[in-house]
Amino acid sequence: MSAKLIDGKAVAEKVMSEVARGVERLKKEKKIIPGLAAVLVGDNEASKIYVRNKRIACEKVGIYSTQELLPGTASEEELLGLIDNLNKDPMIHGILVQLPLPSSMTNGNPSGMNVQKILSEVAPEKDVDGFHPINLGKLFSGMPDMVPCTPAGIIKLLESINFDFNGKEAVIVGRSNIVGKPIALLLMQRHATVTICHSQTKNLSEKVKRGDLVVAALGKPALIQEDWIKPGAVVIDVGMNRLPNGKLVGDVDPKAASKASFITPVPGGVGPMTIAMLLSNTLEAARRQSS
Ligand code: GUN
């Protein structure tokens, strides 16, 4: 068997043209232009590229966007003050704080207390990343509202191939707040049986072999091997690992395509969906703030 590629670019373009139409309607009916502010602290090269790509995507669909840049030496107070100003800015309907924050701000723990404090400062109605505890709590309790963009994009990709979630074994590799935990909740809600694995999981290959669906989001190049994949499984590769030679590779060995029924490419799979869902959340936030 050779897997069909799930074309994330094509699905993302469909979402983006729907967003563009929605933006047009909002402008016409309510005289409102949705606005997104991206906050970038420090000079993480990958983050700079993500923020630039988000700005370009906003331009394509008619969303107004600003980039708020703080030096890596900025204090927590400065960042909280900036977020506060954006919360009050009527031109801005969505705010995202690009992660990871510099380790000077997080005491080296990328999901620790300080990060949670900063993410909690974003007004929940402007939290287009879905990282505020109120939005995460809604997701946890089965009433998803602003859903984190990458997991929301993965669900759209699975819907695009008519994946039947009910009763399927879903194995998630990675337990981050951004991907692993929220995708687990979304899959459970759709009645999949979910296993979450992580860096300390024993016999990882045995667990991955159970998966009708494998979501790889650990950030380790080509960790998931061809012979770990159950024949016919659907494989979603969230990894975006830059090798020393500059090549971008996922968390799944591309040879896994010989076992899977569907697989997402890297690049061109999950990545474009994250941005498309961010735009979709921004439009939704602007709609709500205008009514
Ligand atoms: N860093 C990696 N993924 C994301 C994301 O979805 N949102 C933000 N804000 N930062 C990220």
Determine the structural domain holding residue 38 and report its residue range: 31-123
- Residuewise pLDDT in 10s, the chain (291 residues): 699 999 999 999 999 999 999 999 999 999 999 999 999 999 999 999 999 999 999 999 999 999 999 999 999 999 999 999 999 999 999 999 999 999 888 877 877 769 999 999 999 999 999 999 999 999 999 999 999 999 999 999 999 999 999 999 999 999 999 999 999 999 999 999 999 999 999 999 999 999 999 999 999 999 999 999 999 999 999 999 999 999 999 999 999 999 999 999 999 999 999 999 999 999 999 999 998
Instruction: Write down the pTM of the prediction.
Output: 0.97
Q: Is 145 a catalytic residue?
A: no
Instruction: Say yes or no: 240 and 158 in one domain.
Output: yes
Instruction: Say yes or no: 185 and 266 in one domain.
Output: yes
Q: Is 225 a catalytic residue?
A: no
Considering its fold, how many domains does the chain have in total? 2
Is 178 a domain residue? yes
Instruction: Say yes or no: 153 and 265 in one domain.
Output: yes
SS (H, E, C) the chain: CCCEECCHHHHHHHHHHHHHHHHHHHHHHHCCCCEEEEEEECCCHHHHHHHHHHHHHHHHHCCEEEEEEECCCCCHHHHHHHHHHHHHCCCCCEEEECCCCCHHHHCCCCCCHHHHHHHHHCCHHHECCCCCHHHHHHHHCCCCCCCCHHHHHHHHHHHHCCCCCCCCEEEEECCCCCCHHHHHHHHHHCCCEEEEECCCCCCHHHHHCCCCEEEECCCCCCCECHHHCCCCCEEEECCCEECCCCCEECCECHHHHHCCCEECCCCCCHHHHHHHHHHHHHHHHHHHHHC
Is 276 a domain residue? no
Instruction: Say yes or no: 266 and 184 in one domain.
Output: yes
Is 57 a domain residue? yes
Instruction: Say yes or no: 154 and 247 in one domain.
Output: yes
- Most ligand 1 atoms within 8 A of CB, residue of 98, 126, 275, 278 to mutate: 98
- Most ligand 1 atoms within 8 A of CB, residue of 65, 178, 278 to mutate: 178
Is 129 a domain residue? no
Rounded to the nearest angstrom, the distance between the alpha carbon of 239 and the centre of ligand 1 is: 13
Ligand 1 environment, Cβ below 6 A: 96-99, 129, 149-150, 178, 274
Q: What is the CATH number of the domain that holds 110?
A: 3.40.50.10860
Q: What is the CATH number of the domain that holds 257?
A: 3.40.50.720
Is 224 a domain residue? yes
